Amino acid sequence: MSAPLRPPIRLRCESLSEPVGVDHLAPRLSWLIESPVRDERPQAYQVLVASSIGPLRDGVGELWDSGRLEASGPPSLAYGGRPLVSGTRYFWRVRWWDREGRPSPWSEPASFVTGFMKAEDWKAGWIGPRSVTEFRSRGTVLLGHPGPEDLQAFAVYLRGEFRLNGPVALALIFISGLGHYELRLNGVKVGTSVLDPGWTDYKKKALYASYDVTRLVRDRNAVGVILGNGRHIKSYGYDGPKLACRIEVVYEGGGREVFAADESWKTSGGPIRENGLYFGERTDARVNIDGWDRPGFDDRAWVSAAPATGYPLASQMMPPVRVGEALAPVSVRRLGSEAWIFDYGQNFSGWTRLRVEGPAGTEIHLRHAELLNDDGTLNLGPNENAEATDVYILRGGGPETFEPRFTYHGFRYVEMTGFPGEPGPGTLEGLFVHSDVARTGELRASNGLVERIHRAVVWGQLSNLMSIPTDCPQRDERHGWLGDAHLSAEEAVFNFDMAAFYAKFLDDIRLAQRDDGSLPDVAPAYLPRLYPADPAWSSAYPTLVELLWDHYGDRRVVEDHYASLERYIAFLGRNADQGLIRSLGKYGDWCPPGGIVPKKTPVDLTSTWYYYHDVLILGRLASVLGRGDDARRYSELAGSIKDAFNAAYLGQDQYAAIRVSPVDAYPNQTSNVLPLYLDMVPAEKKDKVVESLLRSVVRQQDYHLDTGILGTRFLLDVLTGIGQAQTAWRVATQKSYPGWGYMLAEGATTLWERWEKLTGPAMNSQNHIMLGSIDGWFYRVLAGLAPLRPGWEIVGVRPHVLGDLTFVEAAVETVRGRVAVSWRKSDEAFTLEVSIPVCATGEVHLPRLWPEAEISESGKTLRSPRQTAESAAGIAFLRDEKDRVVFSVGSGTYRFEAKKTS
């Protein structure tokens, strides 16, 4: 008798757990299946959706019963039942059938709550303070870039009350407060998000968040909202702070009531006297508005809110920014008589939580920096124009706590001045703030440098997820640079669940597209001068769509963006000159060793290469959508770009490089890496180009890279692909300049923007993520994990035993479940443990480390000198390769061992 089937687990709607605010007409429901049986493969699924749990328990889905649907793709189905109604909770459950046709038990129920299914359903208007000038402060510069209009620095406090008329079944608050809001109900903060809503181009789309407040409402209620500036400011073309807020109550009897923020709400200034994303926040706790967020507060001195012009709204369907890990300082040092320097031992994004007790009016300043000067003072250079200073003025009379709300900093060190007395261990905690994407990947290796680079990438990546992928968290920039985003995206999807985050960012990119099909360098396009983008930056659009297809099997994202991608490619086509893009490049192979601007790689070459790269992707996406004609058209176009590229840039034995002098004959790494990566090199010249690349990497640079951010993304892969994985390893683990190991040896805890150690007031962020692409190579090459078919339908396990490595372990939570690999090598044996989730198969490449070896799996011999391939449960021999034996495995856990016999 086989064991009973397990019910599906980890139910998600639109890849989020129990989301509130789902506004997709056919939201995707997904789940995972686990089974102790090898080679399990679900045949079918059934989903039930109901408006209450009762019927579901009886196996009835009155809103949708999918019936038994054949399984295909990752375990998920798009809702296909009766139209979903705004502001309603839906319950659902799912079951599956195994390969023998047995049904599993039903899963535990999960639920989701809808937002606004039609734009007209949102009836709340927008309100704001009557006059922005009422809240003038010191005429401060909000973002760091001087803008005479940016006078509004106070946070605005708004309040309104409502009464309920009976017991409540469901109470929801939908809110968009711009630039950022904090929502409070009856004296407590609602939800755990900070710096909400996510950044968008508000005129095109503002995001609202949705909260289930059923447990917080009472007969009489007060809603309080604090509005900060964020990016909703005049220098970006927006007017003052504004709020749309709607409270929907469903009574137990079924009746509905709506309370919306309107002109009956009152506004006031409050303790937050100044706030700006870059300069920081100033809070004067003596400003007493206690009780303002509770019912019955006397708000007669407050001013009525005024109507404000609104924006189109859509639900924020992605993990919000939250306060994550708290960091205790690793050291606290006195500096002179006034100041204390806190060192958190780690560069990160966020702020600090101050605990203090002292006389009223005591003013504490907290300045943030990534570096210290030699004399122990803060080095504010890399912050450029970001003041990055929070100020707290004590109310007095007891213990006080302060955390800023509407700013964040990129820092490792804090200078505190004005503190009354001596700080204690808990005085100033560091709070790591970032988009709260779930961690999906883990990687461990016997080589400490690999682990430290991986760790720096993880901290750097999270520091640069702030509702958009940013370039850096410390200076007055922090924009959604498209180049930085796509160069680090593969590493990000290994490490984190990026499905909803990137879906939102792709929407930002699409909204930023101009009528001529062009895209900007940054999205949201807060800096309108950045059109049209360098093609190496705007490649983020096709690159991210393809990545979501490969890692999440997300066909909808392909459908949603295909038309806009076509317009983008057409734009490039119109700007091509006989297949070459000569006019759009700006940055090219940015930040190579020794400078910011590429010195050796022609910008036209990278622009044209990305044109080819993107056309290839589009052709592939056309095939995904079954558009055969398009696929052929793009494949022909790609062919002609490739020919033009080779004609223009391929010389005798290498691709074009900018020569700085007649003796500068060495090949340029990036120029050769890019065409090798996409297999563009004519067969008869491939060996020569490979040789040229190696001449540069090995002979000229002594196993160092000489690439900017574009070449770096592909260099290690190309070396691996041409059979030079050991060379790639040496480059990846170099401890001398330029390399990742050099940065770490020089004290980096996140990756730098530049290969050089630079500390002045210039472009030298200590926390940029664009060189983090190496972490993708760790997962794919050292651990050997890759989705060989979209959505991890076939899990590739092709580890490389490199350098001094004796073990590597990695695991990724995929859309089909957990994929894991762990290998160990000794002088006598190599073991490879692999876990393949149900719904997937694995292609396991066992490295051939010795001329002869006995191969077994879980103790059962598969091959020995006397005996050839024998299959065991769930395993089939696929083929022998030069240096590997390849098996196909079904779902389950396998332990392969190769024992040296000669």
Residue with tokens 């109507």: 307
CB 505 within 8 A of CB 494: no
**CA dist 867 → 130, 184, 854 (Å):** 86, 72, 9
Minimum distance from residue 527 beta carbon to ligand BGC (Å)? 10
Minimum distance from residue 481 beta carbon to ligand BGC (Å)? 4
CB 227 within 8 A of CB 241: yes
Using the contact rule CB under 6 A, the part of the chain among 31-39, 478-486, 633-641, 668-676 near ligand BGC is 478-486
Task: Between 484 and 490, name the residue whose CB sits nearer to ligand BGC.
Answer: 484
Task: Between 471 and 550, name the residue whose CB sits nearer to ligand BGC.
Answer: 471
Minimum distance from residue 763 beta carbon to ligand BGC (Å)? 6
Task: Between 503 and 770, name the residue whose CB sits nearer to ligand BGC.
Answer: 770
According to CB under 6 A, which one of 87, 382, 483, 520 is a site residue for ligand BGC? 483
According to CB under 6 A, which one of 472, 622, 743, 820 is a site residue for ligand BGC? 472
Burial class (CB in 10 A: 0-12, 13-18, 19+), 426: exposed
Alpha-carbon distance of 819 to 821, in angstroms, equals: 7
- The helix (H) or strand (E) run that includes residue 507 is helix 499-512
Burial class (CB in 10 A: 0-12, 13-18, 19+), 133: exposed
Minimum distance from residue 479 beta carbon to ligand BGC (Å)? 7
Minimum distance from residue 455 beta carbon to ligand BGC (Å)? 21
How big is the site for ligand BGC, counted in residues (CB under 6 A)?
Answer: 10
The CA-based angle 581-613-559, given to 5 degrees, is 115
According to CB under 6 A, which one of 212, 248, 390, 471 is a site residue for ligand BGC? 471
Structure tokens at 823: 């290998």
Task: Between 76 and 470, name the residue whose CB sits nearer to ligand BGC.
Answer: 470
Task: Between 283 and 538, name the residue whose CB sits nearer to ligand BGC.
Answer: 538
Task: Between 484 and 775, name the residue whose CB sits nearer to ligand BGC.
Answer: 484
CA-nearest of 73, 43, 69 to 814 is 73
Minimum distance from residue 199 beta carbon to ligand BGC (Å)? 16
Task: Between 28 and 768, name the residue whose CB sits nearer to ligand BGC.
Answer: 768
Task: Between 161 and 477, name the residue whose CB sits nearer to ligand BGC.
Answer: 477
Beta strands (DSSP E) in 625-738 are: none
Task: Between 472 and 846, name the residue whose CB sits nearer to ligand BGC.
Answer: 472
CB 791 within 8 A of CB 782: no
DSSP 132: G
Minimum distance from residue 103 beta carbon to ligand BGC (Å)? 52
Q: Find residue 136's DSSP bridge partners.
A: 152
Q: Which residues contact 375 (CB under 8 A, 6 or more apart)?
A: none
DSSP SS3 for 546: helix
What is the chain's alpha carbon radius of gyration, rounded to the nearest angstrom? 29
Counting other chains too, the contacts that 283-289 makes at CB distance below 8 Å and 24 or more residues apart are: 283/390, 283/391, 283/392, 283/393, 283/402, 283/404, 284/393, 285/392, 285/393, 285/394, 285/395, 285/400, 285/402, 286/360, 286/361, 286/393, 286/394, 286/395, 286/396, 288/395, 289/157
CB 166 within 8 A of CB 252: yes
Q: Which residues contact 297 (CB under 8 A, 6 or more apart)?
A: 159, 222, 291
- The helix (H) or strand (E) run that includes residue 893 is strand 892-900
Residues in contact with ligand BGC, shown as a per-residue x/- string from 425 to 464 under the rule CB under 6 A:
----------------------------------------
Backbone φ/ψ region at 749: left (φ over 0), alpha (ψ -120 to 50), beta: alpha
Window 826-865: residues binding ligand BGC (CB under 6 A)? none
Relative to beta strand 272-276, strand 180-185 is unpaired
Minimum distance from residue 830 beta carbon to ligand BGC (Å)? 41
Residues in contact with ligand BGC, shown as a per-residue x/- string from 742 to 781 under the rule CB under 6 A:
--------------------------x-x-----------
Burial class (CB in 10 A: 0-12, 13-18, 19+), 628: exposed
Structure tokens at 582: 């000569």
CB 342 within 8 A of CB 414: yes
Using the contact rule CB under 6 A, the part of the chain among 164-172, 375-383, 471-479, 604-612 near ligand BGC is 471-479
Minimum distance from residue 473 beta carbon to ligand BGC (Å)? 11
DSSP 655: B
Minimum distance from residue 767 beta carbon to ligand BGC (Å)? 11
Task: Between 32 and 465, name the residue whose CB sits nearer to ligand BGC.
Answer: 465
Residue with tokens 């083929």: 879
CA-nearest of 116, 277, 311 to 202 is 311
Using the contact rule CB under 6 A, the part of the chain among 86-94, 469-477, 619-627, 730-738 near ligand BGC is 469-477
Q: Which residues are identified as catalytic?
A: 477, 753
Minimum distance from residue 494 beta carbon to ligand BGC (Å)? 21
Alpha-carbon distance of 521 to 542, in angstroms, equals: 14
Minimum distance from residue 456 beta carbon to ligand BGC (Å)? 17
Task: Between 587 and 894, name the residue whose CB sits nearer to ligand BGC.
Answer: 587
According to CB under 6 A, which one of 23, 182, 477, 589 is a site residue for ligand BGC? 477
Q: Where are the alpha helices (DSSP H) in 575-627?
A: 603-624
Using the contact rule CB under 6 A, the part of the chain among 220-228, 365-373, 457-465, 477-485 near ligand BGC is 477-485
Using the contact rule CB under 6 A, the part of the chain among 479-487, 659-667, 836-844, 855-863 near ligand BGC is 479-487
Minimum distance from residue 129 beta carbon to ligand BGC (Å)? 34
Residues in contact with ligand BGC, shown as a per-residue x/- string from 131 to 160 under the rule CB under 6 A:
------------------------------
Using the contact rule CB under 6 A, the part of the chain among 141-149, 193-201, 376-384, 470-478 near ligand BGC is 470-478
Task: Between 654 and 767, name the residue whose CB sits nearer to ligand BGC.
Answer: 767
Using the contact rule CB under 6 A, the part of the chain among 151-159, 432-440, 475-483, 568-576 near ligand BGC is 475-483
Residues in contact with ligand BGC, shown as a per-residue x/- string from 537 to 576 under the rule CB under 6 A:
----------------------------------------
Determine if 484 is a binding residue for ligand BGC (CB under 6 A): yes
Q: Which residues contact 792 (CB under 8 A, 6 or more apart)?
A: 74, 551, 553, 814, 815, 816, 819, 837, 840
Task: Between 538 and 891, name the residue whose CB sits nearer to ligand BGC.
Answer: 538
CB 628 within 8 A of CB 621: no
Binding site residues, ligand BGC, CB under 6 A = 471-472, 477, 481, 483-484, 587, 590, 768, 770
